[in-house]
Every structure is written in structure tokens, then in C-alpha cells.
Amino acid sequence: MNFCTSCGSEVALRIPQGDDRERFVCVSCETIHYVNPRVIVGCVPVYEDKVLLCKRAIEPRYGYWTLPAGFMENGETTPEGAARETWEEAEARVSQLELYRIFDVPYISQVYMFYRCEIDDGQFGVGPESLESALYREEDIPWDEIAFPPVKETLREYFKDAAEGRFPVRVSAIEYKRRIKE
Amino acid sequence: MNFCTSCGSEVALRIPQGDDRERFVCVSCETIHYVNPRVIVGCVPVYEDKVLLCKRAIEPRYGYWTLPAGFMENGETTPEGAARETWEEAEARVSQLELYRIFDVPYISQVYMFYRCEIDDGQFGVGPESLESALYREEDIPWDEIAFPPVKETLREYFKDAAEGRFPVRVSAIEYKRRIKE
């Protein structure tokens, strides 16, 4: 951040009064500009014993498979955002959304929230950000071609939980070191 | 938003190519400035059969009681943020954090995430943003002086769940109309 969004003057890193960390503060109008983590909302869309994956048509991880997910938008709820992303990326309408998995990714200041859900009538398509979409049974998942660590972990847990018929909500953090290893 | 954070030129609302909603786009360098929801992290800090509340020393809702909570910061996880806020507002160290309650508040683009936790040794104090702090049994909670609807609902649910000995993770949305009524 170089310039103030309110007045266009330069900003400088300063610790505002009563605060304990550096913020971008306008040198002219003194507006404090807070920068906060972003939420990524997505679905684990299920039909029978299969999960819907999309092959990414965009970077990062072009050509790798992922669960439909993306940045939460202003004015929507987390399940609304998860359903919207599932429509945009896989042209699937979903229902019965239940919170399933939260990942904190502090080194990039992101929070992932995945909802389990049912694909209405098992119907889906291919959205503009996907090369293809497909329903996968556990044994057919392309494990070596999954785009992101949180997606791989969520899929592993989902099939294990489905076999046991219980879906506890889990929260954990993805650390930088771990990502490098994968 | 009036000016570009990258180059200081004016921004205009436009729908970028491949997008379906208006964004602030710089008229000079064409940087797209996304604005996303913010996460509020907090705790339900428990000691024996009591919950720790803080009386707000800041607006909004000066003088009303709340659970310790505040904006999640970059570089931290959601439970780290919840524990940090509990230290800042009530000088309590907490452990055994378990995700408990999520509220979507779409009309102000916020997501609340509350963690249940234990107060280490039952010790607490009064942080700079609080007038006082206190442990409350259910029957002593100042229900008419609770600062925010999500806090009131979380407290009601907590005592009901504690009586039943089970703490399911709940997700719901706070709508504008409902807030007006309360």
C-alpha cells in the first residue's frame, strides 16, 4: 500500500495511538488503513458416494483438481458464498449445506471454510474458471493432481467420515513448512 | 474508496473482464481493488459454571457487556486471534479452544467466530478497552445490557448446551430486520 484510499496522499507505517502494531496511516488526512485476513468459502459437493471436483482453468495451479471455492464477497453469508462458487466453477446447484472444515492459513492471512452439501439431482457442468468437472469415488480421486493441501486433507477426511457416518467440524492450521513438504 | 493504493490516481466502479460485479478499478494503472468481508474472532471464556464478560469502554455500545472479541489480524489463526482478544480485553489467558459459534452478518460484511475455552486458573483483569470484567453465572447475566445480538444468542446457547453437556458447532445469519427488532 502506497497511497491513501480517502485522499490520495502517501501513507506511512506507524503504530496508531492505543494500538500495538504498525498500520498504514495517511500522512495527510491521518486515516488508518486496516488490512485483514480474507475468507475463502467452498463446498464438498456430494452425490451418492462421489464428490464433485473441478480442474482449474486459471492460475495458480492451472490443470490441477480442486473443490469449488473462492473469495467470499461482501454482502453474502458463508454458505451463500460457498454455493455461489459451486455454481460459478461447476454449474451445480447445491442444498443442505453443513459447515464441515475450517483451515487457518496464517502465512497468507486466509481462512478456508468448506461446507458439505448435496448436489441437486446430481447435475453439474463446467464453469468459465474450470477445464472440466467430474464426480469422483474415493478410489478414483487423482490424489497427485490436487491443487491445494487444504483440499487434499478435506477430501481424505470426508471419505473417512462418510464411512463412519459422522461429520465433526474440524479446525486446524496449515503452516508454511508443511506446505513446502507437500 | 476514492484513490488507488498503488499509484494514487482516482478509482472508478467498473465490472472487470471475466467478473460479474462492480469493483474499484484504477483509471490509470488499472489495478482492481477487491473489498472483502472481515472476520471477528472471540471467545466464550469459561471458569467453573461461569462465563467471562467485559463492559465496553469504547463505542459502539459503550457501557454494554460483551464477550471478548475483535477483528482478526493478518498473520494469525482464528483461535490465536480469539485468545489474543481475550487477553487484550479481559487480561485472561485461555486454553482448550474449541470452535463453537459462527454468525454471518451479511449486511455489514462480517463473519463472527466464537471459540469456547477455559480460563487458566480462573484469573482475569481489565484491558484498556474495557471498563470492568466479571464472571457471570447464567442467572446473573445482565441480559438487557448485552452489547450485540450475536453475543446474546451465543450466551443463551452456551448455558443451554452446558446443561446438556454437548456443544454442537452452529452457523446462522443475523439479518438486518432482526437486528432492528432487538
Question: In this prediction, what percent of chain B has a pLDDT beyond 70?
Answer: 97
Give the HSE-up count for residue A133: Cα atoms under 13 Å, Cβ half-sphere: 22
pLDDT of residue B94: 98
pLDDT tens, residue by residue, B10-41 = 999 999 988 889 999 999 999 999 999 999 99
Q: Mean pLDDT in chain A? A: 95
Give pLDDT, residue A174. Answer: 93
The burial class, CB within 10 Å (0-12 / 13-18 / 19+), for B136 is: middle
Name every chain A residue with its beta carbon within 8 A of the beta carbon of B4: 3, 5
Report the pLDDT value the prediction gives residue B152, as an integer from 0 to 100: 96
Q: Pairing between strand A170-173 and A65-66?
A: unpaired
The predicted structure's pLDDT at residue B3 = 96
Between chains, do B2 and A6 touch, taking CB under 8 Å as contact? yes
A49 at B interface, C-beta within 8 A = no
Each residue's pLDDT tens digit, A28-73: 999 999 999 999 999 999 999 999 999 999 999 999 999 999 999 9
Q: Is pLDDT above 70 for A164?
A: yes
Taking residues B85-91, what's their average pLDDT?
98
Q: What is the pLDDT of residue A182?
A: 46
Nearest one of B169, B158, B162 to B44, comparing CA atoms: B158
pLDDT range class, residue A179, cuts 50, 70, 90 = low
Domain B1-35 has CATH 2.20.70.10: yes
pLDDT of residue B121: 97
Q: Which residues of A touch B78 (CB under 8 A)?
A: 102, 104, 111, 171
Q: Identify all chain B residues contacting A3, using CB atoms and an 8 Å cutoff.
A: 3-8
- A1-21 confidence digits (pLDDT tens): 999 999 999 999 999 988 889
Q: Is the peptide bond before A60 cis (omega within 30 degrees of 0)?
A: yes
> In B16-163, where do the E strands start and end?
23-26, 32-33, 38-47, 50-56, 65-66, 69-71, 94-105, 110-119, 130-136
Q: What pLDDT does B82 receive?
A: 98
Residue with C-alpha cell 486459471?
A58
Same fold, A1-35 and A38-173: no
CATH code reported for the domain at A38-173:
3.90.79.10
The CA distance from B138 to B142, in Å, is: 9
B contacts of A73 (beta carbons < 8 Å): 21, 36-37
Nearest Cα residue to B73 out of A176, A19, A171? A19
Q: Domain residues of chain B, as ranges?
A: 1-35, 38-173
What is the model's pLDDT at position B178? Answer: 54
Q: What pLDDT is stored for residue B182 in this prediction?
A: 47
Select the residue of B21, B73, B171 nearest A99 (Cβ to Cβ): B171
